[in-house]
Amino acid sequence: MCERCEASKAVMRRPKNLQKLCKECFFHVFETEIHLTIEKEKLFYPGEKVAIGASGGKDSTVLASILKTLNERYNYRVHLVLLSIDEGIVGYRDDSLATVKRNQQQYEMPLEIVSYKDLYNWTMDEIVSCSGMKSSCTYCGVLRRQALDRGAMKLGINHVVTGHNADDMAETVLMNLLRGDTARLESSTNITTKSTGSPIKRSKPFKYCYQKEIVLYAHYKKLDYFSTECTYAPEAFRGTARVLMKNLESVRPSCILDIIYSGEHFKLKQRKKRPGPQKPAIQGQETEIRSDGSVSLQNDGNRCEKCGYLSTNKICKACLLLQGLESSRAKLAIAAEAVPKVEEDQLQHRLQHLSF
């Protein structure tokens, strides 16, 4: 019997607390807990336009479904839009985009697709064939983040929500420790992040949701999602951290939330100011390229020279990465009378066209 309503047959043990629940009670509990997070964190305001970063995978599909449900149930009065990035990964993205297009129908939400090819003149497949598998995560991280922001800006939306769940967040906390990433350690458990100067706010309503419960929700709701993992698997080091997390979970099932609780307490010691002449401008410039590709804006109006995207650097992180790619493509094609100059101009043109 369901331990909550004591009326229906229990179908599952809830991963979070091992409570036996019927299907309806699980839906109710899971949805309500996300509503609690949204309310507590004041994620939305009435009339706000919100873009859901939709990949067609289960996290973002469940997010779209639940936000639609909660928006109607609690009358948030937000305008939800599906925003998809087409990285250009043959076989993976084609199928998942088809899923997103079905979601558009199922949830009656507008859908916007922005492609890497449009944005950067490179598909992910081309990037990987040029730079190798090894660094694909670097590119994915920087380019995808910018792509969502650029896509949202194009739609005049200032708020992007993503399906990142508690498992993702816990993994990020561990990775930041293992990589000694001081720039991101304090903020890695924030539910909402915003790059300085960028008008785009990003939130993670599933911050406290276990991946397992998202899977169960999708399963029992019979949601239509695309279940193949990204072809470009995580780099090896992140893989080791994932194995560790799995083992830790078997010993301490609550460790995902425990890690987030810890992460919310991380605070760096104040750096002692060194005596002598200070050069704040230069110091600022040194710290502002973040490894996630976010850009901080110190003086309003600073833009990337190449694409016009917000950046304190002369050239934004995405353009910097792409520049590296262009030059290696040029090297590869040097014998074959390649035309890198033309391509670069083309890229610049396209980015300018898309930016604001």
Distance (Å, rounded) from C-alpha 355 to C-alpha 307?
7
DSSP state of 193: E
* Residues sharing a CB contact under 8 Å with residue 307, sequence separation 6 or more, in sequence order: 316, 318, 319, 348, 351, 352, 355
Query: Whose Cβ is closer to other proteins: residue 64's or residue 185's?
Result: 185
Q: 194: which strand partners?
A: 201
**Rg (the chain; Cα; Å):** 22
Known binding residue 86? Answer is: no
Say which entry of other proteins, Zn ion, none residue 266 contacts (CB below 5 to 8 A, set by partner kind): other proteins
Known binding residue 55? Answer is: yes
Say which entry of Zn ion, other proteins, none residue 319 contacts (CB below 5 to 8 A, set by partner kind): Zn ion
Known binding residue 293? Answer is: no
Footprint on this chain of Zn ion (rule: CB under 5 A) = 2, 4-5, 8, 22, 25, 304, 306-307, 309, 316, 319
Give the burial class of 63: count Cβ atoms within 10 A of its Cβ; 0-12 exposed, 13-18 middle, 19 or more buried. Answer: buried
Distance (Å, rounded) from C-alpha 289 to C-alpha 314?
11
Contacts to other proteins from residues 68-127, by CB under 8 A: none
As measured in angstroms, the least distance from the Cβ of 199 to other proteins is 28
As measured in angstroms, the least distance from the Cβ of 110 to Zn ion is 27
As measured in angstroms, the least distance from the Cβ of 32 to other proteins is 4
As measured in angstroms, the least distance from the Cβ of 254 to other proteins is 5
Are 149 and 197 within 8 A, CB to CB? no
| 327 lies in the site for other proteins, by CB under 8 A | no
Query: Whose Cβ is closer to other proteins: residue 9's or residue 269's?
Result: 269
Say which entry of Zn ion, other proteins, none residue 304 contacts (CB below 5 to 8 A, set by partner kind): Zn ion
Query: Within 10 A of 131 (CB to CB), how many other CB atoms are there?
Result: 18
Distance of CA 137 to the CA centre of its chain: 13
Are 64 and 163 within 8 A, CB to CB? no
Query: Whose Cβ is closer to Zn ion: residue 223's or residue 319's?
Result: 319
x/- track of binding to other proteins for residues 234-273 (CB under 8 A): ---x--x---x--xx-xxx-xx-xxx-xxxxxxxxxx---
| 29 lies in the site for other proteins, by CB under 8 A | yes
Can you state the angle between helices 255-263 and 166-179, rounded to 10 degrees?
Answer: 60
Q: Report strand pairing: 12-13 vs 111-115.
A: unpaired
- Interface with other proteins (CB under 8 A): 4, 17, 28-29, 32-33, 36-37, 40, 173-174, 176-182, 185, 208, 237, 240, 244, 247-248, 250-252, 254-255, 257-259, 261-270
Task: Cite the annotated binding site for ATP by residue number.
Answer: 53-55, 59, 85, 163, 168
